[in-house]
């Protein structure tokens, strides 16, 4: 699972470098410290979270991608063969129904 450290504010989850992740449509406690999303629950989109491709690994029917979001490394599994270049700027979106929010004590909040 990709785990991002940050804080909640203005209806979004704030990472470093001004990067913001969307929050799921639920009441979000102020104690959220970590935002989790599995690699298979991220997709490439025209709009979304800016990311930089670090590694691309085609594995047959899937493509595994390692990327930088803010200063944090994240993984994505795409269920297609996708052509990406190292260093390419892309945008990704999480499936908000499958994100996980954790408190500063590691307790799941949603």
3-state DSSP: the chain helix, strand, coil percent, rounded to 5?
Answer: 10, 55, 35
Indicate the number of domains in the chain: 1
> Which CATH number fits the domain that encloses residue 98?
2.40.50.140
pTM comes to 0.89
Q: Confirm whether 110 is domain-assigned.
A: no
Phi, psi (deg, nearest 5) at residue 94: -90, 155
* Tens of each residue's pLDDT in the chain, 110 residues: 999 999 888 888 999 888 999 888 777 777 788 999 999 999 999 999 999 999 999 998 899 999 999 999 999 999 998 999 999 999 999 999 999 999 888 888 88
- 106, exposed or middle or buried, with CB in 10 Å at 0-12, 13-18, 19+? exposed
Q: Confirm whether 109 is domain-assigned.
A: no
> Distance between CA atoms of 30 and 16, rounded to whole angstroms?
18
Structural domain including 32 reads: 2-103
């Amino acid at each position: 699972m990709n785990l991002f450290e940050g804080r909640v504010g203005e209806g979004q989850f704030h990472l470093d470098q001004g990067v913001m992740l969307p929050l799921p449509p639920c009441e979000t406690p102020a104690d959220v410290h970590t935002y989790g999303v599995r690699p298979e629950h991220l997709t490439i989109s025209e709009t979304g979270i800016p990311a930089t491709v670090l590694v691309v690994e085609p594995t047959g029917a899937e493509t595994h991608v390692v990327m930088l979001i803010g200063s944090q490394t994240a993984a994505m599994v795409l269920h297609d063969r996708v052509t990406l270049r190292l260093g390419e700027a892309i945008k990704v979106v999480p499936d908000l129904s499958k994100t996980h929010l954790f408190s500063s004590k590691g307790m799941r909040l949603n």
